[in-house]
Amino acid sequence: EYWLLVARDVSKMLRLEQMRRDFVANVSHELRTPLTVVHGYLDMLDPAESPEWAPMLAEMQKQSQRMTQLVEDLLTLSRLEAQDSLPDESVAMAPMLATLRREAEALSHKRHTIIVQDEAGVDLWGSNKELHSAFSNLVSNAVRYTPVDGTITIRFSREADGSAVLGVRDTGYGIPASHLPRITERFYRVSTSRSRESGGTGLGLSIVKHVLNLHQARLEIESEVGHGSLFSVHFGPERVHPRNDASL
Ligand code: ADP
């Protein structure tokens, strides 16, 4: 009798959870088209033609870009939530690190020192696309939450037990310890104003968490306020394979 009630509650919860997922996915999808239209027309307006409108136009462009990013991030999360596994491709880490360096440099505009250390000498098994999106989110956070003249270090290394670690270290604002347990929740932010200013959607780390779960990888965060943070992604030995030199 009791177990029957529990089972009924659980199945109701699962149904509600599925409804929530579908709702978010549908709304995000429906928002995409009107946003594309607004964005498209805004891009066609020339601020030089009416200088008094230029600041408003710039703000509208910025906000419509923010909204587009938000919708894209929500769609990414919905897609990840609906998946139990990802393709198991070979993920070549040398080109991956080169891409991450370019992305960090583009975001930083030479305002930070960017260091990339490729020490592991191995590659990974996983989804190229999703791992790139996870790493890229960590790198973008490191740049966005580090004041000018700071240093971002991206390091791919190997542990004694055969596992591999991608570390993204910054010398930025840091995160108070009390916030760490909730930092990967959707829309969770330490400082809303700073996050807004930095152009974030509040969904980045949530996407990272989902991607890493699908890879059975573990995220470790160390941080000290005023000194910086280290986000380390740990891949078990089963995710690691020798680098194919022919592909270099
Ligand atoms: P956002 O889009 O707000 O950056 P994220 O999910 O990527 O959303 O990050 C959640 C929050 O965690 C951020 O708002 C910020 O407060 C904090 N955070 C993330 N990465 C860092 C970092 N490298 N340094 C300091 N704070 C960070």
pLDDT tens per residue across span 80-122 = 999 999 989 999 999 999 999 999 999 999 999 999 999 999 9
Q: How far is CA 100 from CA 22, 48, 210, in A?
A: 32, 35, 20
Q: How far is the CA of 145 from the centre of ligand 1 (A)?
A: 7
Q: Which amino acid is at 30?
A: E
User: Which residue from 195, 206, 222 has its CB within 8 A of the most atoms of ligand 1, so it is best to mutate?
Assistant: 195
Ligand 1 near 189 CB (within 6 A): yes
Cα(141) to ligand 1 centroid in Å equals 6
How far is the C-alpha of 221 from the C-alpha of 232, rounded, in Å? 6
For the chain, what percent of residues have pLDDT higher than 90?
A: 86
Structure confidence by residue, pLDDT tens digits, 148-198 = 999 999 999 999 999 999 999 999 999 999 999 999 999 999 987 777 777
**Per-residue pLDDT at 246 exceeds 60:** no
- Rounded CA gap, 188 and 32, in Å? 23
**How close is the Cα of 207 to the center of ligand 1, in Å?**
12
Supply the pLDDT for residue 192.
Answer: 76
Q: What is the pLDDT of residues 42-89, one digit of tens each?
A: 999 988 888 999 999 999 999 999 999 999 999 999 999 999 999 899
For ligand 1, the distance from its centroid to the CA atom of residue 189, given in whole angstroms, is 6
Cβ contacts of residue 234 below 8 Å, gap of 6+?
159, 163, 164, 165, 217, 218, 219, 220
In sequence order, the β-bridge partners of residue 233 are 166, 219
Q: Which secondary structure element, helix H or strand E, spans residue 114, and what is its range? A: strand 113-118
152 Cβ below 6 A of ligand 1: no
What pLDDT shows up at residue 191?
84
Cβ atoms of 143 and 108 closer than 8 Å: yes
Q: Is the ipTM of this complex over 0.90?
A: yes
Mutate to test the pocket of ligand 1, among 112, 145, 171, 220 (most ligand atoms within 8 A of CB): 145
Q: Which residues of 105-121 are buried (b: 16+ CB within 10 A; e: fewer)?
A: eebbeeebebeeeeebe
